[in-house]
Amino acid sequence: MQGDISKPASAKNAVEEVARQFSGIDILINAAGIGPYLPLADITEEHYRDIFDTNVLGTVMMIQSAVPHMPAQGGRIVNFASRLAYNPLPGSSVYSASKAAVICLTHTYARELGARNITVNAIAPGVIETDMTRDIIAQRGEGIIAQTPLHRIGQPDDIAGVALFLASSASKWITGRTLIADGGLN
């Protein structure tokens, strides 16, 4: 299903359609996001709004739309943040701030939704080899590998396992937490 989560109506429609097709929603994984970097001098209102509308407003709208469709016995929400929320790089200010906001939302909604037995957690990946990170890896890949005890760039499967764990009943006593999954990056 295609949609633009930066548009509240699109996010709500996507959730409603999934809930209709599957008679509810047990797990919500908020993985959509954008992250173009710009130095301070080049940041525009459009740049800021594009990132915050997708990464922050989109997360809020998806959660707000999904929660009414979660079963009485509870559910799981997993948000994607970024290691850059803790250690931003030059040029990543708006993206990093948006992911710090996702961490704040995660911790807040865990408290709000705990009484409904809905866990809310986040994953803060380091550099993972995707289309979004192609340029970063080309520019700084060797340095990242040198600073990572596992001596490699992360792969999507490295994060998928963390998401599966947080979405499973094995994590039922974990909520309001952000797991940093960065290969031990120094």
Q: How sure is the predictor about 88, in pLDDT bands with cuts at 50, 70 and 90?
A: very high
Asked whether the predicted pLDDT for residue 1 surpasses 80, the reply is: no
Q: Which residues are catalytic?
A: 95
Q: How sure is the predictor about 17, in pLDDT bands with cuts at 50, 70 and 90?
A: very high
Domain 8-181 sits in which CATH superfamily? NAD(P)-binding Rossmann-like Domain (3.40.50.720)
Secondary structure, 3-state, 122-179: EEEECCECCHHHHHHHHHHHHHHHHHCCCCCCECHHHHHHHHHHHHCHHHCCCCCCEE
The tens digit of pLDDT for each residue in 124-165 reads 999 999 888 888 888 888 989 999 999 999 999 999 999 999
